Chain A
Amino acid sequence: MNAKRTAGHRMTILAPEGMLGYGIPPRSMAEGMKRNPDALGVDAGSTDPGPYYLGAGVPFTNRRAFKRDLAMILEAAKTRRIPVLIGSAGGGGGTPHLEWTLEVYREICRERDYHFRTAVIGAEVDRGWLTRQIARGRTSPLDLDTPLTAAEVNRSARIVAQMGFEPFMRALDMDAEVIIAGRAYDPACIGAVPLRAGFDPGLVIHMGKILECGGAAAYPRHGSDSLLGFIEEDAFVVEPPNPDKVCTVASVAAHTLYEKADPYLLHLPGGAIDLTRTTFEQINPRQVRVSGTRFVKAPHYTLKLEGVRRVGYRTLAIAGVRDPILISQIDAYLENIRQRVAETYPDGYRLIFHVYGRDGVMGRLEQVKEIRAHEIGLVIEVVADDPDTSAAVLALARSAGLHVTYPGRKAIAGNLAFPFSPSDLKAGEVYEFNIHHLVVVDDPLELFPIEIVET
């Protein structure tokens, strides 16, 4: 990168919030816009809410909240004529997620008579292409020891790749005013504008890492909020536009740890940033200056793949147990239910008891072996290949749970307290992550088609 181009220059990016649809505080947005940002960048996705949303092709944010936030951002962008970059649209960043985002976006534009030159960037991965990359030895596991196989690719319900900065920069080259991108490396929506302007990639990416979570790097850390980033030639500064919050060395440095396996080396498409020489400096009570972060280019450009497979259909029931005689023998009681169910349905399903008050939260990691509670919460879960089997097995487990007897039983009318009628809740399709791998590409743009649409 050409440092001379940025000498004496400064660029301001506003991240209105850390997750599009979680609620932008209007005062933060107004204060942020007073600082004349050069671009608005907002991340809309995550794998954190689990595999369902990518698989089912639905967002994890509420439509009304999402529309409100997006309308606020578009209004600000229109007033100041600055670009808007949205990454991982619709949460999962697949094609249905992009379509959902576009539908809401078009509705806002129609209602408010907004006209933006809009770039839409796809991020779904073609199974045939990926299978060929496996054959060429271009894929490798990430955090798992299992290599990717063609069979696993074919079992996937949906596969996306996290795009880097390059597709966003190309869309800016195409004069896009609004960029709605599928699955993207979270900092890309923040960093594409300053990176394209020639600012140091190590600093841009690190600033993107902090801003993509919005106000999370400011204290007090509560609620969804905004964050400003000011990038210069040899450092960047972060500041919360919310006057009730501050960025401190502790808040910014601690955020660098968040959700990362190793805070000194953060991998990204095409390389990594190295934080071993990074310094965090409090320059006034509300601003932290960060410098020294270096970009390390990788020998091969790799993209992270995310995929999920459907593993069945879930039905569940929630119940409480208050009887101390039953609680004292809960394991035998649950095993009895399992056997009763197996007499009618020998296989073809998974029956799981989540026992809150025993190990419902930590499962096999739980080290407290005895039950200390006076009541326990029971979630009875069935996952089966089809919804009817799932419902039938759950119904039997629930009725057996209510009526099965046990030694010393006094409460012969029923063993479970159900908080709801109906007791049996259909939870729909169940997905699991099955692809979490890297793939080498020759061209950072090759998986991400850019389409210009009119609004």
Chain B
Amino acid sequence: MRRTIGDIAAFVTSKNAGPFLLTLDIVFPDRATYERFKALKALDRVTVAGLYGVMAEDVLKIIEFDPAHAVKITMRRAWGSGAVGEGDVYGAQQHVPLMEHAVPWEDA
């Protein structure tokens, strides 16, 4: 079966990392869940780019951060924060495509 990242993780957030980058954090509730997710290798730049309709080269980094049981994704922002026409100055509501992304996950 498949579960969404939002179902598996404790937190899924988005935020600016400076005015021109957007960073998405997936924080897992414990080491075991984190390791299980990592083993799936479910997120690569092409997959993340597909979730947001951007080019793979705009997904700059996908980093597994063991101390926080977290996966961090950093993307180029479509616009600079506060640019005319931009809709999310803090970048705080751009997490949903990632949160709703389903991955293979059998309930234990």
Interface check A363, CB cutoff 8 A: yes
CA A354 to CA B85, docked complex, whole Å: 8
Report if A399 contacts B (CB, 8 A). no
CA distance A267 to B94 in the complex (A): 25
Across the interface, do A262 and B61 meet the contact criterion of CB distance under 8 Å?
Answer: yes
Q: Look across to chain A and name the residue whose beta carbon is closest to the beta carbon of B16.
A: A48
Stretch from A49-57, A171-179, A440-448 that touches the partner: A49-57
Q: A261-B61, A263-B63, A352-B85 are in contact. Are A433 and B19 (CB under 8 A)?
A: yes
Q: Which residues 333-348 in A have Cβ within 8 Å of B in the complex?
A: none
The answer to whether A365 and B16 touch across the interface, beta carbons within 8 angstroms, is no
Give residues of chain A (95-131) contacting chain B, Cβ–Cβ below 8 Å. none
Separation in Å of the B62 CB from the closest CB of chain A? 11
User: Are B88's CB and A362's CB within 8 A?
Assistant: yes
Q: How far is the CB of B79 from chain A (nearest CB, A)?
A: 8
Question: Smallest CB–CB gap between A165 and chain B, Å?
Answer: 20
**Cα of A5 to Cα of B50 in the assembled complex, Å:** 54
- Whole-angstrom CA separation of A423 from B58 in the bound complex: 39
Interface residue A398 (Cβ < 8 Å from any Cβ of B)? no
Chain B residues positioned under 8 Å from A312 (CB to CB): 84
Bitwise, A244-258 to B at CB < 8 A (1) or not (0) is 000001100110111
Question: When chains A and B are docked, how far (Å) is the Cα of A383 from the Cα of B99?
Answer: 34
Distance in Å: Cβ of B85 to nearest Cβ of chain A: 5
Interface centre among B54, B78, B85 (most CB of A within 10 A): B85
Q: B44 → chain A, closest Cβ, in Å? A: 17
Contact: B94 with A362, CB < 8 Å? Answer: yes
B63 proximity list for chain A (CB < 8 A): 262-264
Q: Are the CB atoms of B84 and A311 closer together than 8 Å?
A: yes
A443 → chain B closest CB, angstroms: 25
Residues of A within 8 A of B72 (CB): 257, 260, 262-263
With A48-B90, A311-B84, A436-B20: A262-B74 Cβ-Cβ less than 8 Å: yes
B7 on the interface (CB 8 Å rule)? no
Name the residue of chain B whose CB is nearest to the CB of A260.
B17
Which residues of A lie under 8 Å from residue B105 when comparing CB positions? none
A-facing mask of B71-96, CB < 8 A → 1, else 0? 01010101111111111111001101
- Whether A47 touches B81, Cβ cut-off 8 Å, given contacts A261-B60, A262-B61, A363-B86, is yes
Q: Which residues of B contact A362 (CB under 8 A)?
A: 87-88, 93-94, 96
Contact A253 B90 (CB under 8 A): no
Chain A 233-277 interface residues, beta-carbon cutoff 8 Å to B: 249-250, 253-254, 256-264, 275
Q: How far does the alpha carbon of A154 sit from the alpha carbon of B21 in the complex, in Å? A: 25
Is B70 within 8 A of A257, CB to CB? yes
B81 contacts A259, C-beta separation under 8 Å? no
Closest residue of B by beta carbon distance from A314: B84
Using A259-B17, A361-B93, A367-B97 as known contacts, say yes or no to A433 and B82 having CB atoms under 8 A apart. Answer: yes
Contact status of A256 and B67, CB under 8 A, knowing A51-B81, A432-B80: yes
Residues from chain B with a CB closer than 8 A to the CB of A264 are: 63, 65
Identify A261's interface contact among B74, B79, B90, CB under 8 A.
Answer: B74
Tell me the bound Cα distance from A455 to B86 in angstroms: 43
Which chain A residues numbered 27 to 81 have a C-beta less than 8 Å away from chain B? 47-52
Min CB gap B95→A, angstroms: 10
Q: Are A367 and B15 in contact (CB under 8 A)?
A: no
Contact partner, B87, options A47, A350, A354, Cβ 8 Å? A354
Minimum CB–CB distance from A87 to chain B (whole Å) comes to 17
**Distance in angstroms between the alpha carbons of A144 and B76 in the assembled complex:** 9
In whole angstroms, what is the CA distance A367 to B93 when docked? 14
- B81 touching A433, Cβ below 8 Å: yes
A279 close to chain B: CB less than 8 A: yes
How far, in whole Å, are A360 and B86 apart by their CA atoms in the complex?
Answer: 9
A331 at the interface (CB under 8 A from B): no
Question: Looking at the complex, which one of A48, A49, A254, A363 makes contact with B78 (CB distance below 8 Å)?
Answer: A363
User: 30 interchain pairs (CB within 8 A)?
Assistant: A51-B80, A250-B27, A253-B65, A253-B67, A256-B65, A258-B15, A258-B25, A259-B16, A260-B72, A261-B17, A262-B72, A263-B63, A275-B67, A279-B67, A312-B84, A352-B85, A360-B87, A361-B87, A361-B88, A362-B87, A362-B94, A362-B96, A363-B78, A365-B78, A365-B94, A367-B51, A367-B52, A367-B97, A432-B80, A433-B82
- Which residues of A are at the interface with B, using a C-beta cutoff of 8 A? 47-52, 142-144, 249-250, 253-254, 256-264, 275, 278-280, 311-312, 350, 352, 354, 360-365, 367, 381, 383, 430-433, 436
Which 9 pairs of residues, A with B, have the shortest CB-CB distance?
Answer: A50-B82, A253-B68, A253-B67, A50-B89, A143-B20, A261-B74, A433-B19, A261-B17, A51-B82
Q: A48-B89, A51-B80, A367-B51 are in contact. List 6 more A-B contacts (CB 8 A).
A: A49-B90, A256-B67, A259-B23, A363-B86, A432-B80, A436-B19
